[in-house]
Structure 1
Amino acid sequence: MGMMWNAMDLLFGGRNVIADTAHVWRENAEASGQRAVQMQSAALEQLAAEYARPRQSWFDGFVDGLNRLPRPMLALSVLGLFGMAMHDPVWFAARMQGLALIPEPLWWLMGVVVSFYFGARHQAKTQSFQRDMMTTAARVPQVVQQIQAIENTAKPDNPALAEWRSLADHGAATK
């Protein structure tokens, strides 16, 4: 057998012609996996750096609190209007007549302002969510290692535990 290998090495220069030829038509799965891991790691590092936030001051917290007020205020105001329509229909009708006098271009402007406000808020929340997801995704390899460590500690043979499990399985089978 050694002579055949020497003859093949002499003919083909010690290369695996089949493997070299296969790489022309099929990607190397192991190299592809390594590239994918490197690309994902680089993307996670880039996103983590992009979305890193410095510590907030009291003013930032105050402004964030103010930014959270309009949505609940709008919802509660609409519910309040329904309540006032039932409680004092004349008062409600007078207010609605006042709204009917607002010109249409002003309604369009109001729509634009509200759309930009909620659109910007949606974008900020989406970026915050993405940042949190990237932080969580970056921890996946660590969690996988911890799970493997836990599984490896549970693998040592324990004759007493094996006997107990077989008795428990036997007891469950007889019921």
Structure 2
Amino acid sequence: MGVIERIFGLIFGEGNMLRGTAEVFRENAEAGAQRGAAAQAQAMVQFGGEFAGTGRGRFDRLMDGINRLPRPLLALGTLGLFVSAMVDPLWFAERMQGIALVPEPLWWLLGVIVSFYFGARHQVKSQQFQQALAGSINRVPRVIDNISMLRDLRADTVRIAATGADARLTSATLHPDQNAALAAWRAKG
């Protein structure tokens, strides 16, 4: 039995020739998991050291703070636009008329910048800048008229109560109907 025991010891024992041969073609799962856990632990230590706050100067902290601003500012700015549209619709409409003058390539550029910042892929259509600029310039007179009409709607605008060419409205303002409460008040005084 000594010979058979030696053969089995060589194949399955401490030297384990069978395991060594198999690991040439297929990774040992347990050893691979241990290496993966060690690599992950080392990465976490390195990552933690990056954000530990020790040894970092004011500039690094400032840049970290600035890098965290765009998303909240975009979200709060959008909500602010909705609030301003409800609080003062005429002011909001005037600003939106100004935005109508922004040329389309500039909108594409803004989309590229925002998409790039947030990691999204963005394909830009190739358009001619001169055509968009000409279209934008053609809209200027209409936008100016719209802003003028919006300003005429303000309650604090001079001549807001002007009757214009309406004779009936002019007559009604010059000769108002009798106000019974006002007449009684004047009679008491």
Provide the TM-score with structure 1 as the length reference: 0.48
Higher helix share: 1
- Bigger RCO of structures 1 and 2 (CA < 8 A, at least 6 apart): 1
Rg bigger for which structure?
2
TM-score normalized with structure 2 length: 0.45
